Amino acid sequence: MSEEVSKIEKKVTFEEIEKTMKRASISDIAETVEDPFCDERNPRIITFQDVCQAAFMIRGGVETTPCSRSHLSESCGMEIYLKKEFLQFTGSFKERGARNALLHLTPEQKKNGVVSASLGNHAQAIAYHGMKLNIPVTVVMPKEASIMKIQKCRNFKANVIVQGSDMAAAKKIAMELSRDKGMPYINGYDHPYIMAGQGTIGLEIVEQCEGADAVIVPVGGGGLIAGIATAIKTLSPNTKIIGVESNKCPSFSKALENGGPIYTKNHATLADGLAVPKVGVNAYATIVPLLDKMIVVKEEWIALAILRMVELEKCVVEGAGAAGLAAILAGHLDEYKGKKVVLLVCGGNIDTTAFGRCLERGMAAEGRLIRFSVTVSDRPGGISELCKLIYTYGVSIKDIYHERAFLKDVYSVEVKIVAETADWDTSQQLKKRLHEVYDHVVFNDVPMAIHKAEAL
């Protein structure tokens, strides 16, 4: 497709959206457009047969990812196996469900194409497999979506529309386009074929890691854990299914409290792949009887988990992919000490800018990146002596700034430092020594630090 034709098509699409917005408000769209595959009054519960059929349909089209023993096993005190779904071509598990859903389309539907809404991973998966299967794909992505993910969808020849303040708004726009254009809408987490496709991960886990005591699954809209649980509980009933979500987007936990899916306001999160404001009706109905435990983790633990995955596993993963490890590091799964646990590392599509922030935040959360100020003598050598003291602890100064203007003592200077230490104990030793040598020492970020005394 030429660039000129592509631009014309996108222009027409945006004009259609403007007409839609004039004709009805966003809230009206939600009322007038319904997804026939996701009916709250008649939820669809997928079966083991659905998952097996999906495995047959997608064979050869997606990767059979490894499930290998983790270097984290010794430090965490349990046998940890990582199911590395981030090794799929588009970097996430979403390919399984996307390919399965596309292959179930009728010949006419394949010709007309499909529409969907996504923050990124589902959009990439359906765009990629749409390109491979020669099926036109339109994806509506909210303005908060990663630029990297938007561009990748365009690289896969999808018609990408960046509209809507969040996922809820993007979905409403996509549903309107589905109705006006007669294209099937494929829900990225609640469509029965999507859930069945994701369930094929469970089949692989049972085969690759026989006798697992628990499988830890990140939860956003619920389709992933619903599919996996359907497969695993059929083949290995004693294996526990545990869900994990961020405290910034606890949609599934709120649904459990409510007794059904309910809109939950999400906040900016490192696990943007889990930021679904309302869990799927089909996913909820499928997983509730199979779920053994639901965990909500703080963002600091997710940042630390991303850091651990890089340092110990040499794996670059997104926040959603690190959520399972975050639950272990936070002490939520201590009952599985000495047991075999599988962590689903579901995605690796982390924005490069966000990745740097996550590493720094993880180090700060662990107490390895510290910030403090020390008031020293302004005579020659005053700052030099401070730096020498810091050096004796093997601490690396990342940033240093000195302030004179706002001190009462004209013979003193306040030195502000950001430094990297080997571990939390080293940070504490440095803090103690600084207080012994200097009268005015302030550590700004001590409450963020994570160590054994504060872990639980």
**pLDDT for the residue 296:** 96
Model's pTM, two decimal places? 0.85
Residues 51/206, Cβ–Cβ less than 8 Å? no
**pLDDT for the residue 451:** 58
Q: Is 82 left (phi over 0), alpha (psi -120 to 50) or beta?
A: beta
Q: What is the pLDDT of residues 37-70, one digit of tens each?
A: 988 889 999 999 999 999 999 999 999 999 999 9
* Percent of the chain at pLDDT exceeding 70: 90
Q: What is the pLDDT of residues 149-204, one digit of tens each?
A: 899 999 999 999 999 887 788 888 999 999 988 899 999 999 999 999 999 999 99
**pLDDT for the residue 167:** 79
Residues 22, 137: Cα–Cα separation, whole Å: 25
Tell how strand 441-443 and strand 396-403 pair up: unpaired
* Residue 16 confidence class, pLDDT cut points 50, 70, 90: low
**pLDDT for the residue 224:** 97
* Residue 25 confidence class, pLDDT cut points 50, 70, 90: very low
Domains of the chain: 3-31+106-181 (3.40.50.1100), 48-91+192-362 (3.40.50.1100), 367-448 (3.30.70.260)
* Residue 365 confidence class, pLDDT cut points 50, 70, 90: confident
Q: What are phi and psi of 115, to 5 degrees?
A: -130, 150
Is residue 271 exposed (0-12), middle (13-18) or buried (19+ Cβ within 10 Å)?
buried
Greatest Cα-to-Cα distance within the chain, rounded to the nearest angstrom: 82
Q: What is the pLDDT of residues 220-274, one digit of tens each?
A: 999 999 999 999 999 999 999 999 999 999 999 999 999 999 998 888 888 888 8
Lowest mean pLDDT among 128-132, 206-210, 452-456: 452-456
Sign of CA dihedral 338, 340, 341, 347: positive
Buried b or exposed e, range 220-259, using 16+ CB within 10 angstroms: bbbbbbbbbbbbbbbbbeebbbbbbbbebbbbbbbbbeee
**pLDDT for the residue 272:** 84
Tell how strand 159-162 and strand 137-141 pair up: parallel
Tokens in use for 129? 């497999």
Q: What is the pLDDT of residues 291-332, one digit of tens each?
A: 999 999 999 999 999 999 999 999 999 999 999 999 999 999
Closest CA to 97 of 189, 24, 3: 189
**pLDDT for the residue 185:** 95
Answer yes or no: is pLDDT of 3 > 50: no
* Residue 283 confidence class, pLDDT cut points 50, 70, 90: very high
Residues 221, 225: Cα–Cα separation, whole Å: 9
**pLDDT for the residue 202:** 98
**pLDDT for the residue 410:** 72
* Residue 207 confidence class, pLDDT cut points 50, 70, 90: very high
Q: Which residues touch 246 (CB under 8 Å, ≥6 apart)?
A: 269, 270, 271, 274, 296, 297, 298, 299, 302, 319, 323
Which spans in 59-120 are helix H? 73-76, 94-103, 107-112
Q: Which residues touch 366 (CB under 8 Å, ≥6 apart)?
A: 304, 307, 423, 424, 449, 450, 451
SS3 label, residue 443: strand
Closest CA to 241 of 288, 209, 279, 195: 288
Q: Residue 97 half-sphere exposure, CB side, CA atoms within 13 Å?
A: 31
Between 33 and 367, the higher pLDDT residue:
367
